[in-house]
Amino acid sequence: MSNVRETALQILNKCDLAGQFSNLALDTALKRNALSSADRGLLTALVYGTIERRMTLDHWIASLSSRPMEDVDESTKNLLRMGLYQLAYLDRVPDHAAVHETVSLAPKRTKGFVNAILRAFLRAKKQIAWPTDPLERLSVQYSFSQKICEEFVAAFGYARTEALLAAFGKQPPLTLRVNTLRTSRESFLSVLKEAGYAARATAESQTGVLLDGAPIASIPGFAEGNFFVQDEASQLCVEALQAQKGMTLIDVCACPGSKSFGAAINMENEGRVYACDLHKNKLSLVTGGAERLGISIVETFPRDARTVEERWIGQADRVLCDVPCSGFGVFAKKPELRYKDPAQSRALPDIQLAIAESACQYVRVGGRLVYSTCTLLPRENGENVRRFLERHPEFLLLRERTLYPDTDGTDGFYFAVLEKRTLSNI
């Protein structure tokens, strides 16, 4: 167990001091260390949980310490955060074990300080007050930057924002999309249950399966290409394309490829799927994924989606614009986003609109364009689609939907389905 906590501390320090992304640092550590399933789960929980609850944990440290936070070195802060996270959020770790293991990792000069803070928390945790200012309370209690809280309150109101922030704090299940080219959902569920997994069908998607977190490659059927990872909201977006056998579909921002895979499977691997991405080196993820899944109709192209590929104009039955976005719907999977300033994303709606305006030229009359994001910010979603429709009256909005973690149990996600008509019919 000490080894797991020591590894977690090293990862947290790398993220803070070397600027590494937590998912990449954690993935490297999992590959390098031969850990049991339980230890892998604990390591993942410690890293993501400590980052996810950072503002709350820092509030507790500041409330319990006589030292100013700026006088505490970063490694000691991370050690305290990790210890407090276990005491507050990990029921499976006994308090005495969490305290002992955490203190054992502290250098001699800080052992007494670390021990005192952790034990003070156990005595006084129910008496530590939250800030009195409503927005500051949301920020500290749910561990989101105050600017994100302000943005969400402006869009959804205070009560709904609190429900959303609370939902983002819950560990989401692992969601898989069944490859129906190779198996059925019923058969796949049966195999999982026989192997001891608590697997169940998704509520809306007809091809989704939910199960508690597990190493992907160890799940039965991985090597055979019987599934891939895809959130239910993303699966519903692919269903909204209504891609059918023999169609031509262009996915203009495809990487890592799950929506291209889902569309190709819905097309029964007959037709053409052009998967594009700005970064050529990422397209190998699409090629490799398609190979594992037995999909042969996906072809990759390195392209800037804001520029038009002349030969594709008017050729596509379906076009998917899963545009780059702020990611303010996937906090549960990318905890660092909790501390981002929304102002850094102000330029995104114009980039998203430019991509949609280029991609819409590929849609034949009677074809569909689906615009999607994994954010809940209206300016990147419905407001942007309204801007597109004002400029492109040849398109009709057939349907739009926002999915929320508190009511739908999915990522925060948005998609709009647009159909191209002739101008004479407007």
Query: What is the pLDDT, as a whole number, of residue 19?
Result: 75
Place of tokens 């993303």: 234
Q: Which of 26, 27, 29, 9 is nearest to 17 (CA)?
A: 9
Q: Which of 215, 353, 207, 322 is nearest to 259 (CA)?
A: 322
pTM: 0.93
Query: What is the pLDDT, as a whole number, of residue 93?
Result: 83
The span from the CA of 69 to the CA of 77, in Å, is 8
Query: What is the pLDDT, as a whole number, of residue 426?
Result: 43
Query: What is the pLDDT, as a whole number, of residue 319?
Result: 98
Q: Which of 421, 404, 422 is nearest to 413 (CA)?
A: 404
Query: What is the pLDDT, as a whole number, of residue 2?
Result: 56
Residues 249, 250, 251: CA angle, nearest 5 degrees: 120
| Distances, alpha carbon 119 to alpha carbons 20, 61, 87, 362, in Å | 31, 12, 10, 63
Active site residues: 374
Query: What is the pLDDT, as a whole number, of residue 423?
Result: 56
Query: What is the pLDDT, as a whole number, of residue 91?
Result: 85
Query: What is the pLDDT, as a whole number, of residue 68?
Result: 87
Q: Name the DSSP letter for residue 407.
A: T
List the domains of the chain with CATH numbers. Answer: 2-129 (1.10.940.10), 134-169 (no CATH), 174-229 (3.30.70.1170), 232-425 (3.40.50.150)
The span from the CA of 17 to the CA of 24, in Å, is 15
Q: Which residue ranges of the chain lie beneath pLDDT 70?
A: 1-2, 423-426
**Contact (CB, 8 A) for 257 and 289:** yes
The span from the CA of 217 to the CA of 40, in Å, is 14
The span from the CA of 260 to the CA of 298, in Å, is 7
Query: What is the pLDDT, as a whole number, of residue 37?
Result: 77
The span from the CA of 80 to the CA of 85, in Å, is 8
Tens-digit pLDDT profile for residues 302-313: 999 999 999 999
Q: Name the DSSP letter for residue 106.
A: S
Q: Which of 188, 168, 182, 190 is nearest to 295 (CA)?
A: 182
Place of tokens 């800030």: 131
